Amino acid sequence: MDGKTIRMGRISRNGLFLCVPMDHGISSGPIAGIDRLHRVLAEVSRGGATCAVLNKGMIKSMKEHPGMGILMHASASTSLGPDPNYKVRSSGVEEALRLGADGVSVHVNIGAREESEMLYELGYMSDEADEWGMPLLAMMYPRGEHVKNPNDPATIAHVARVGAELGADIVKCNYTGDRESFSALVRSVPVPVIIAGGPKMDTDMDVLRLVRDAMDSGAAGVAFGRNVFQHANPEAITRAIAEIIFDNADVEKAAQELEVGRS
């Protein structure tokens, strides 16, 4: 048992992840949901989330431990800047340790003009995380001027593999759209793969079907931001997602948690 193994246990449950990224305040400002960040943290923790992703300032602002793992996000750009796809390093592993975080995360946009700089930072952060025994989540996206089709399964698989090749302990990527291609992606990546939630979906059932499809394809869980923290009842949608991930529930069974949340 080493430090990284112990910390991986703090951000997962039996090797599975229900992660709620709430690092959007830098890129998008105080959008709905994270404008009441600490309240939502408590709600998703009660719902069964294993970890949240926060920027360092929000970790510093916590008055009490949220009861789940915390990953400190170490990448930043804003929607107001000249190139939102260029994520720069905003912190390091030692600061994450000082703040009591259980891991770190890095965002890389493959296909952006500054891809080489982001790849360098991912590789450097991987070495730093190994040195200190910290889990590293790589958020890997096909996003930028050189990406012709960001939804192409082969492109998503390439981007996910880059994260593993450069030493990430967990890779977050988009779902490819079908079980066959995503299963192939998971087989090609030798670390746990979790799926991104993307923009807010139209219905709760859409959210739950995506979770079920991903888990049936071999995913190790999800990292859902807006589809959780912008939900009318973050605790209930988290609990429904948890039913699928940890209890292998079908969509209809998981959806019952939403009815309980409305009562």
Handedness of CA 150, 153, 155, 161 (dihedral sign): positive
Q: Which long-range contacts (CB under 8 A, 24 or more apart) does 38-44 make?
A: 38/62, 38/63, 40/229, 40/234, 41/66, 42/66, 42/67, 43/233, 43/234, 43/235, 43/238, 44/20, 44/68, 44/228, 44/229, 44/234, 44/235, 44/238
Q: Structural domain tally of the chain?
A: 1
- The whole-model pTM stands at 0.96
148 flagged as catalytic: no
35 is catalytic: no
Per-residue CA distances from 189 to 126, 144, 166, 171, 212 (Å): 16, 23, 12, 8, 20
Q: Contact at 8 Å (CB) between 197 and 44? A: no
- The pLDDT tens digits of the residues spanning 167-177 come to 999 999 999 99
Q: Looking at residue 198, what is its pLDDT? A: 86
1 or 202, which is more confident: 202
- Sequence ranges of the binding site: 23-27, 141-143, 197-198, 225-226
| Average of per-residue pLDDT across 242-248 | 98
CATH number of the domain that residue 183 is part of: 3.20.20.70
pLDDT of res. 259: 83
**Average pLDDT score over residue span 123-140:** 98
State the average pLDDT over residues 172-201. Answer: 96
For residue 106, the cross-strand partners are 138
Catalytic residue (one of 86, 87, 169, 172): 172
pLDDT class of 262 with cuts at 50, 70, 90: low
Q: How does residue 146 score in pLDDT terms, banded at 50, 70 and 90? A: confident
pLDDT of residue 70 exceeding 90: yes
Catalytic hit among 23, 102, 169, 213: 23
**196 vs 53, 99, 117, 148, CA distance in Å?**
13, 26, 23, 20
Q: Which amino acid is at 19?
A: C
Measured CA to CA, the distance from residue 183 to residue 217 in angstroms comes to 5
pLDDT tens digit sequence for 103-122: 999 999 999 999 999 999 99
Can you tell me the distance from the alpha carbon of 39 to that of 46, in angstroms, rounded to the nearest whole number?
11
Mean pLDDT of 225-240: 97
The confidence score (pLDDT) of residue 261 equals: 57
| Residue 229: domain span | 3-262
Give percent of the chain with pLDDT exceeding 90.
Answer: 95
Q: Is 141 a known active-site residue?
A: yes
Mean pLDDT of the chain: 96
Please report, for residues 70, 99, 135, 193, 196, the alpha-carbon distance to residue 102 in angstroms, rounded to integers and kept in the order given. Answer: 5, 9, 7, 18, 20
The pLDDT of residue 150 is 95
pLDDT at 166: 98
pLDDT digit string, tens, across residues 5-36: 999 999 999 999 999 999 999 999 999 999 99
How confident is the model at residue 1, as a pLDDT?
Answer: 79
Place of tokens 């079980």: 179
Q: What is the pLDDT of residues 213-229, one digit of tens each?
A: 999 999 999 999 999 99
Q: Which of 86, 141, 169, 213 is catalytic?
A: 141
The mean pLDDT value for 48-56 works out to 98
Cα Rg for the chain, rounded, in angstroms? Answer: 17
Q: Which residue has the tokens 């193994």?
A: 5
Position 263 pLDDT exceeds 70: no
